[in-house]
Amino acid sequence: MNTALTSQRALRLPRLTRSYAAAAKTHHKILVIGGGSGGLNVANQLYNRFKAEGKKLDDGDVAIVDAAEWHNYQPGWTLVGAGLKQKNQLRRRLVDLIPSHIALVPAAVASFSPDANSVTLSSGEVVTYESLVVAAGLQINWENIKGLSPALADNSSGVSSIYSYETCDKTWGDIEAFRGGKAIFTQPAGVIKCAGAPQKIMWMAWDRWRRTKRGEAADVEFVTGMPTMFSVKKYSDALNALRLQRGVGALFEHNLVEVDHHARVAKFKKPDGALVEKDYTLLHVTPPQGPLDFIKSSPLADGVGWVDVDPGTLRHKKYANVWSLGDCSSLPTSKTAAAITAQTPVLVDNFYRVAETGEIGTARYDGYTSCPLLTGYGQLMLAEFVYGAVPKETFGALLGIDQSKPRWAFYHLKNEFFPWVYFNSMVNGTWFGPKRWNVPEFPKVAAEPAAKA
């Protein structure tokens, strides 16, 4: 690693400091901001890569900064909303997921000073680094919808959301309590994580009501700020055909702006500014999302507020020792954990080659992302695509099947395999998704066991 860091000085990075006890360190060779899907995955893969190359890092050289007590398997919140899982099964204490050789700084970053190679924590403490990886996720803007927070807090409102740990089980309660009437499922205009989730929960509710003889009484409608069912034409067309076949209504380019849960009225804004009011019995809300304020206001941000990285290499466009992946990054693809499985190996390979030679490697991210679209109990359409909204299907290529057709086997990937592989392999950096073979010369290395709590 010393060789690696000597060559990093060519990029005008700070000189090495000596090791401190991991917990007390205020300087780390590699500082990862965020211990979510991307942060845990990348911190472990970076550590494992240097080790596999015979350049083992010292304990605490890699550190994760995150104030969160819990790490959530967010893709499971759809399963909780559909009554398939208990929410407390889908989270772990963050500290229990971090191996002893990686330090946890249990704090929130307040600001970045990339010219000084440092971050300032909300306590005011400054932590310096040689390289920075930003994986802090995105911000959910609940307050951008007037009346939403009180509606979610009221147990009898019929308003819920699978987009938080607190509210995802309310969705299942509302689905079960529903006896008929208007059921509206919303999707906001703009970027959200897992853009299929707003309709996954609708399809599950639709199927649940059908199976429990409430289908006739249910008037289901998808009201979305987006112009189509999905961003990729192939899947969008298949989903729209499904919608028509199932008698589910839709309003496109209608963006939820207000909820009056006393009157049970939802207000939507059209692109021309006109407001449309709709009565509802059940309302499932996907909140608007955007970049985190502390990133948006930093020198790392692009014009929108995402960390401004090269879409192929994942290296910051301006700061050569800064990298980013996952939801907080500017990568122009759909924000999912599946995407991170393809992003991390590319970031790690390029990071390692820069550390060794000062030059970026040849690994390039093609924008791979995947959305396992639940369409009912026992059926799932597995959307997989790359930059430009071009389908790139793993099982289509392997088995010659069309993934826009919902399948039983895909459903079990989502319901059983992904939660399992996530906590057994993704969080410790040994799950590479279906794209493993696309990263040249990435060494195979077993994870070290996580520290005991």
Sole binder of ligand FAD in the list 326, 361, 406, 434 (CB under 6 A) = 326
Q: Which of residues 320-379 bind ligand UQ1 (CB under 6 A)?
A: 337-338, 341, 370, 372
Q: Which of residues 59-118 bind ligand FAD (CB under 6 A)?
A: 65-68, 74-75, 77-78, 108-109
Q: Which residues contact 268 (CB under 8 A, 6 or more apart)?
A: 223, 251, 254, 255, 256, 257, 275, 276, 277, 278
Identify whether 194 is a catalytic site residue.
yes
Q: Which does 292 bind (CB under 5 to 8 A by kind): ligand FAD, ligand UQ1, none?
A: ligand FAD
Query: Toward ligand FAD, which CB reaches closer, 91 or 246?
Result: 91
Query: Toward ligand FAD, which CB reaches closer, 4 or 109?
Result: 109
Q: Which does 397 bind (CB under 5 to 8 A by kind): ligand FAD, ligand UQ1, none?
A: none
How many residues sit close enough to ligand FAD to count as binding (CB under 6 A)?
36
37 touches ligand FAD (CB under 6 A): yes
Query: Toward ligand FAD, which CB reaches closer, 265 or 413?
Result: 413
User: How far apart are the C-alpha atoms of 423 and 83, rounded to whole Å?
Assistant: 20
Look at the chain and count its residues: 453
Q: Which of residues 286-325 bind ligand FAD (CB under 6 A)?
A: 292, 294
Closest CA to 62 of 50, 54, 79: 50
Q: Which of residues 362-381 bind ligand FAD (CB under 6 A)?
A: 372
Query: Toward ligand UQ1, which CB reaches closer, 85 or 316?
Result: 85
Sole binder of ligand FAD in the list 47, 163, 172, 385 (CB under 6 A) = 163
User: How far apart are the C-alpha atoms of 274 and 33, rounded to whole Å?
Assistant: 41
406 touches ligand UQ1 (CB under 6 A): no
Q: Which of residues 78-97 bind ligand UQ1 (CB under 6 A)?
A: none
- Note whether 402 and 396 are within 8 A (CB): yes
Q: Which does 209 bind (CB under 5 to 8 A by kind): ligand UQ1, ligand FAD, none?
A: none
Per CB under 6 A, the segment of 1-9, 86-94, 139-147, 419-427 that binds ligand UQ1 is 419-427
Query: Toward ligand FAD, which CB reaches closer, 45 or 336?
Result: 336
Q: Which does 394 bind (CB under 5 to 8 A by kind): ligand UQ1, ligand FAD, none?
A: ligand UQ1
421 touches ligand UQ1 (CB under 6 A): yes
Give the active site residue among 80, 371, 373, 382: 371
Q: Which does 434 bind (CB under 5 to 8 A by kind): ligand FAD, ligand UQ1, none?
A: ligand UQ1
Residues that bind ligand UQ1 (CB under 6 A): 75, 337-338, 341, 370, 372, 384, 394, 418, 421-422, 426, 433-434
Catalytic residue set: 194, 371
Residues that bind ligand FAD (CB under 6 A): 33-39, 65-68, 74-75, 77-78, 108-109, 135-137, 162-163, 193-194, 197, 292, 294, 326-328, 335-338, 340, 372
